[in-house]
Amino acid sequence: MTHLRAAITGVHGYAPEYILTNQELETMVDTTDEWITTRTGIRERHICKGEGKGTSDMAVEAVKGLFKKTNTSPNDIDLVICATVSPDMVYPATANIISDKVGIKKAFSFDINAACSGFIYALTTASKYIETGAYKKILVVGADKMSSIVDYTDRTTCVIFGDAAGAVLLEPSTNGYGLMDAILRSDGSGRIHLHQKAGGSVRPASHETVDNREHFVYQEGQAVFKFAVTNMADVSVEIMEKNGLKSKDITWLVPHQANLRIIEATARRMGLEKEKVMINIQRYGNTTNGTIPMCLFEWEDQLKKGDNIVLAAFGGGFTWGSIFLKWAYDGGK
């Protein structure tokens, strides 16, 4: 029997119009364009502005674009999974809100929170629904309005993050394309280095938590950096070895865009030249769950049926992992 795999059959992305440059950040906090570019590789990031605009609004733009280019009707969708750390509301799930806003009525929808690894967790989860044969069209969304949880008086975090959303359509494939393998990991002891202190059940919102600025991203950058470099590279090498892939077999590495130095270290460990690595961190910063689908979207025209692609991510939790997939269509069709 031919193995049923989950293949990405379309991708679309959206970044809001407003561009926050390093130069503008220089006027907001004690930083320099030179520090930001040499330490992170980031030059600018997009920010979602406007009263009442949330993560779902960016995701809706990505999903509508995806529907149009893949000729998909909202009625065709069986399941929506949204990976996000900046949901519109604590509940309901942002996936529910996206479904409502784009007119999806015959699906169930839920969110996945795995910080910056959320998109690869969501893609892997969705692939299992396809592989059972029970689901035919699944939307996997990665979206974050990081500007809603970033403290713009904290120079150690506010220069890093940006806002964006991306969405892929997953469908069954019986001809050898699609998700081939995934390795996902987590280690909750890493939470001390990267978390949001208040707003959860341990420390609900109060005047004190707001006064203490505890509703923003808290990150011990150097500690996270060490774990990110090691784990993202290790898991990417592990998926290569597990699937008998040599450097020359890999067409593209699609890394989470947290820091150019982490991306370069991962590519080096995998033995990949930089031409094979998707990098757009300079224009978007770290958009958390938006990074990987935004890369796929921007490189879609260059992708060919049968390309061997490795996705890799590391994020808060800690969470990390990699996916090996065979691209299922010639891009830009």
Site residues (vs ligand UT7, CB under 6 A): 31, 35-36, 39-40, 116, 155-156, 159-160, 221-222, 224-225, 228, 258-259, 262, 286, 314-315
Shorter beta-carbon distance to ligand UT7: residue 56 or 259: 259
* Least distance from ligand UT7 to the Cβ atom of residue 42, Å: 9
Shorter beta-carbon distance to ligand UT7: residue 86 or 99: 86
* Least distance from ligand UT7 to the Cβ atom of residue 72, Å: 31
* Least distance from ligand UT7 to the Cβ atom of residue 43, Å: 13
Residues 48, 286, 289, 295: which is the catalytic one? Answer: 286
Q: Is 256 a catalytic residue?
A: yes
Q: Is 286 a catalytic residue?
A: yes
* Least distance from ligand UT7 to the Cβ atom of residue 238, Å: 19
Beta carbons within 8 Å of 321's beta carbon, 6+ residues apart: 117, 120, 121, 124, 182, 183, 184, 185, 235, 312, 313
In this chain, which residue has its C-beta nearest to ligand UT7? 221
Residues 12, 256, 280, 289: which is the catalytic one? Answer: 256
Residue positions counted in the chain = 333
Comparing C-alpha atoms, which of 148, 315, 285 is closest to residue 215? 148
Q: Is 75 a catalytic residue?
A: no
Exposed/middle/buried for 179, CB within 10 Å: 0-12, 13-18, 19+?
buried
For residue 172, the number of C-alpha atoms closer than 13 Å in the C-beta half-sphere is 14
* Least distance from ligand UT7 to the Cβ atom of residue 256, Å: 6
Shorter beta-carbon distance to ligand UT7: residue 20 or 116: 116
Residues 48, 82, 116, 295: which is the catalytic one? Answer: 116
Shorter beta-carbon distance to ligand UT7: residue 178 or 285: 285
CA dihedral 119→124→129→135, nearest 10 degrees, is 50
3-state class (DSSP) for residue 157: helix
Give CA angle at 89 (225, 212), nearest 5°: 60
3-state class (DSSP) for residue 169: strand
Cα-based distances in Å from 219 to 117, 150, 190, 194, 283:
16, 11, 11, 4, 22
Residues labelled catalytic: 116, 256, 286
